[in-house]
Amino acid sequence: MGDLDDARTRLIEHLRRNVRDKRVIEAMAQVPREQFVPEDLCFAAYDDRPLGIGFGQTISQPYIVALMTEALELNGEEKVLEVGTGSGYQAAIIARLAKKVITVERIPELAESARETLRRLGYNNVDVHVSGRELGWPKEAPYDAIIVTAASPCVSNSLLEQLIEGGRLVIPVGSRWEQDLLKITKHTSGNRIENLGACRFVPLIGKDAWED
């Protein structure tokens, strides 16, 4: 574990130089990323890069995880929706910063694996669901914040409808190959859109997104 501990320390020091929210940094330091990657990739768990988790999906680069989490502006009382559970790593980070996390995954095997990992690690404020064609999880709406961990061709109106007034939606928008990470703050008078920079995610599949 010594090598992993050293790698974790180096990663956290790297993130401190780029992420202002100290609570996000603390959460990144506390969540064991090696528990959310395939066993044969544990050696690379604290590299600042995405890693494959099977089924054509990835666990996101730690810096992107931290950046997206920071953009949600969490204070500990929120109900957050995550679209794209993957391994469950992003949900675990958010679970340390919000009151409740609802996360949806379209691949049943990944949803079950993430559910088991989160349960085993004691994240009791996370509910994992298998999603259908409809984006999000409307039956639990509205949400204080929504994070999408797959690339959409547009800002989804159905997700915006699941957000409270003043809520934040963080979503990669662009082509299947490269996107801009957008933060949309919902206002009836007109949504505020901020571009957080270029990124690259696997495609978001479903209504208001890409066809499978």
Q: Which residues are catalytic?
A: 60
Determine the length of the chain: 212
CA distance 38 to 43: 10
- The Cα–Cα gap between 82 and 100 comes to 11
Question: Which is nearest to 45 in space by CA: 21, 76, 78, 12?
Answer: 12
Sheet holding 126-130, edge to edge: 126-130, 100-105, 79-83, 143-148, 163-174, 179-185, 192-199
DSSP bridge partners of 79 = 100
Token reading at 37: 């990657």
3-class state of residue 194 by DSSP: strand
- The answer to whether residues 7 and 46 touch, using CB atoms and an 8 Å cutoff, is yes
The CA–CA distances, whole Å, from 181 to 23, 68, 123, 198 equal: 21, 8, 27, 6
